[in-house]
Copies of this chain bind each other. A is one copy, B any other.
């Protein structure tokens, strides 16, 4: 590995001048500058990041902590953050934490390794997160933590749109498949949906704490957890929704004929061959979430310690339709 000193010697200048020619070009004579830069490129100089970090105290790296690397929901978030980081010459450290304690522990252990930590849907108590933030720059994704820079997809608002759509189609009894207990965002979503549905004189039945898999959807379709008069279901995960769609159809329940299905993310809501996407869902700007949070962490100005909400968009697909008539009079 070729060092600054090698280039300096080749250029016939001192280390200091070589260093300046690269990091503060305006401080050296044009001729010297160009010679050093050319040689650096030719010789393939790569400044030792450790030495650099030791002096500057900055690593150029941001760490991302996610609950799980296998959950496809986090992929786009990581991708967005990673793209933003490499655009500014930085790198992304990544790790997964099984629970809130491990999250905080991990983030703290990252102190000298990264300039900041991006916590994605962290589960530690707010107080611990705020305490952590006093030790290392923090940004949070998909959890609104007061007094911390947080970036959340405004899915509560989006679920309102979803509920409105279903109500407009005529549904009054709607099921909701919720996420892990203690997800503050899921609670907000449920509240938002409740509001709309109740206002319209309907009822929302909630089952909770389901994991975001196809499997969950298939299982729920097989062991139906809702009352028989439920005519539409919203799942917080599009994989659950897809599982429901497949499972219901396998059991002879037409979707959307007898049951409408919708999802709170758009990961599996694909396929618009003229007939519209497969699933009615919320388009959630996951990459943008990651990008914004990463930008907040690497930006020269400290990130504002406030919650930033990013809007979602209703994606009308062919998994929702008018409810089947209650008594088989029509058709």
Interface size class of chain A, counting residues whose CB lies under 8 Å from the partner chain = 35 or more
With a CB–CB cut-off of 8 A, which chain B residues contact A246?
Answer: 245-246, 278
Would you call A165 an interface residue if the criterion is a C-beta within 8 Å of the partner chain's C-beta atoms?
no
Q: Decide yes or no whether A28 CB sits under 8 A from chain B.
A: no
Does A157 count as interface, using CB distance less than 8 angstroms?
no
Give complex CA distance A68, B83 in Å: 11
Number of copies: 2
| A105-113, A147-155, A182-190, A225-233 - interface stretch | A105-113
* Given contact pairs A95-B82, A95-B91, A49 touches B270 in the complex (Cβ within 8 A): no
Taking CB atoms, residues of chain B closer than 8 Å to A270 are: 213-215, 218, 243
Top 10 nearest A-B pairs (CB, nearest first) are: A50-B53, A69-B79, A218-B271, A215-B270, A72-B72, A50-B54, A49-B112, A94-B94, A70-B75, A214-B270
> Of B48, B54, B249, which one neighbours A249 at CB under 8 angstroms?
B249
B residues within 8 A CB of A242?
Answer: 214
CB atoms of B96 and A94 under 8 A apart: no
Task: Give chain B residues whose Cβ lies under 8 Å from the Cβ of A41.
Answer: none
Contacts of A68 in B (CB 8 A): 79
A61 interface contact, C-beta 8 A: yes
Interface of A toward B, CB cutoff 8 Å = 1, 46-51, 53-54, 59, 61, 68-72, 75-76, 78-79, 82, 86, 91-96, 108-113, 213-215, 218-219, 222, 242-243, 245-247, 249, 268, 270-271, 273, 278
Alpha-carbon distance A14/B93, docked complex (angstroms): 34
Given contacts A51-B54, A86-B95, 10 further A-B contacts (CB under 8 A): A1-B112, A46-B112, A71-B75, A82-B94, A91-B113, A93-B94, A214-B268, A215-B271, A222-B273, A247-B271
